[in-house]
């Protein structure tokens, strides 16, 4: 496994200390899609990769579903633990602290665009290793305002190709009227 924790911590730790993204619910649209397309009793365990301030962890707690968060920011992990969430300091590219097929759902909202392109293969392989059923990944396909935080900027077609090449089946969601779902990928491992 490739440990990239120190690289990403140096970038994102200072931003979180300045309350970067605190007011936003990055996972909100992903969770709406989950509610719409997945049967409620199918999910018993969730990992939220890049859990940030814990908004998705709060959502799962209300549903009485086991949820664990990881983030590269020690500051964020401490904040989430104060809210009594299960959180660990880790990078998406090294989830070796978790057993194979531990989670029913792998959630990564606004995370993959923050990874370097050379780290994406490790991240998706780790995701597949620890996940039994579903993947809910929302990458942003545009540059960030600072033009320094989105390290992989791909069009949606390239993200789709990446996920398919990784052996994931994309579950068709939304429709033309709901095109705001376009950058949310609900997936499962092929033939599962």
Q: The domain containing residue 105 runs over which residues?
A: 5-18+41-189
The per-residue pLDDT for range 35-68, each reduced to its tens digit, is 777 776 789 999 999 999 999 999 999 989 999 9
Total number of domains in the chain: 1
DSSP letters along 15-78, please? HHHTTTTTT--TTHHHHHHHHHHS-GGG-SEEEEET-TTSHHHHHHHHTT-EEEEEES-HHHHH
What is the phi/psi pair of residue 95, to 5°? -110, 35
The per-residue pLDDT for range 149-179, each reduced to its tens digit, is 899 999 999 999 999 999 999 987 765 555 5
Please indicate, yes or no, if residue 61 is contained in any of the structural domains. Answer: yes
From residue 92, alpha-carbon distances to 47, 108, 138, 186, 188 in Å are 11, 9, 14, 18, 18
Please indicate, yes or no, if residue 99 is contained in any of the structural domains. Answer: yes
Q: Reading across the β-sheet that carries 131-138, which strands appear in turn?
A: 86-89, 66-71, 45-49, 103-109, 131-138, 185-189, 168-170
| Total-model pTM | 0.91
Please indicate, yes or no, if residue 25 is contained in any of the structural domains. Answer: no
Percent of the chain with pLDDT over 70: 89
Say how many Å lie between the first and final Cα of the chain, rounded: 25
What is the phi/psi pair of residue 26, to 5°? -60, -30
* Range list of β-strands (E), 110-184: 131-138, 168-170
The CATH number for 52's domain is: 3.40.50.150
Please indicate, yes or no, if residue 29 is contained in any of the structural domains. Answer: no
Please indicate, yes or no, if residue 55 is contained in any of the structural domains. Answer: yes
Range picked from 26-30, 125-129, 134-138 for highest mean pLDDT: 125-129
Please indicate, yes or no, if residue 24 is contained in any of the structural domains. Answer: no
Report the distance separating Cα 5 and Cα 102, nearest Å: 21
Report the distance separating Cα 72 and Cα 90, nearest Å: 5
> Kind and range of the H or E element at 109?
strand 103-109
């Amino acid at each position: 496994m490739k440990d990239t924790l120190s690289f990403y911590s140096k970038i994102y730790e200072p931003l979180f200390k300045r309350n970067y993204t605190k007011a936003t619910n990055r996972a909100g649209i992903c969770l709406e899609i989950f509610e719409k397309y997945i049967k409620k009793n199918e999910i018993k365990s969730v990992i939220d990769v890049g859990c940030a301030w814990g908004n998705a962890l709060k959502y799962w707690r209300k549903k009485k579903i086991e949820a664990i968060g990881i983030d590269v920011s020690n500051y964020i992990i401490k904040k989430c633990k104060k809210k009594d969430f299960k959180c660990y300091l880790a990078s998406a590219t090294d989830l070796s602290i978790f057993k194979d097929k531990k989670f029913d759902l792998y959630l990564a909202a606004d995370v993959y665009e923050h990874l370097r392109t050379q780290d994406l293969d490790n991240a998706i392989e780790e995701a597949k290793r620890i996940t039994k059923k579903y993947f809910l990944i929302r990458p942003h396909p545009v540059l960030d305002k600072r033009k320094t935080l989105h390290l992989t900027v791909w069009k949606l077609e390239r993200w789709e190709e990446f996920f398919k090449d990784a052996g994931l089946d994309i579950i068709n969601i939304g429709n033309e009227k709901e095109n705001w779902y376009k950058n949310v990928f609900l997936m499962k491992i092929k033939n599962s």
